[in-house]
Amino acid sequence: MIAFAKLVVLSVKLTENFAQSWRAEILKSRPLILPRRHFTYPGVAEEVERGALEVMVTPANSEALLATCALGFRDPAAPSGIWSTPNPDWMCALSGGYAYLVNTENPTEFTMIEMRPVLSVHAAIDASLLLFVGNRIIIAWGRDGVAWQSGSLSDEGVTVERIDSEKLYGRGWELMKDREYELDVMSGKSMRK
């Protein structure tokens, strides 16, 4: 049994927008005694422990595990935290803008979002999508994986202003001006002519 009472939880984001079958706690540091089940993401990375996000996960139907998620960028613009996903068994962990999606019941099954850095994460609840926003594009993650990827929305900097049941509204930057966009939330296709 591992004692967690003395560990301090970091002030990073824990977002539970979708139903989930797991519980998770972000640890300030790695436990002195590692649990039997310890997984490092992305599996192969130099100096993965330096600044890594350490997450103690308790799945619904299996033994607790420690997920060590390699840090992407040491920059306040690159978020860290935990998000629930459209699939209740999967967890999303962001570590300095690197996004890891992990099956908590089978933690050897994971995906690392190709976009780096992820600058914000938004839940489109009605569409059952978790949206990863970068500098130029948005990637939507559904219950079974990547649902869509937008085209380029900006030369540098994408913001999401609002999401409703049909559309995703936001802004990007194009040369000398802001550019508004509207995407079909189910397909990622542009709704503007």
> Can you tell me the mean pLDDT for 5-21?
58
Identity of the highest mean pLDDT range in 2-11, 30-39, 45-54: 30-39
Query: Residues 45, 87, 60, CA angle at the centre, nearest 5°?
Result: 85
End-to-end Cα separation, the chain, in angstroms: 59
Query: Considering the chain, what percentage of its residues have pLDDT values greater than 90?
Result: 77
pTM of the model: 0.89
For residue 130, which of 118, 142, 117, 120 has the smallest C-alpha distance? 142
Q: How many helices (H) and strands (E) does the chain have?
A: 0, 16
pLDDT tens digits, 104-126: 999 999 999 999 999 999 999 99
Between residues 44 and 150, which one has the greater pLDDT?
Answer: 150
pLDDT tens digits, 135-184: 999 999 999 999 999 999 999 889 999 999 999 999 998 878 888 999 99
Q: So where are the chain's domains?
A: 1-114, 119-193
**Which option is the CATH number for 119-193: 2.40.10.480, 3.30.365.10, 2.40.30.170, 3.40.50.2000?**
2.40.10.480
Q: Which amino acid is at 46?
A: E
Give me the sheet containing 90-95, strands edge to edge.
13-15, 81-84, 90-95, 98-103, 110-112
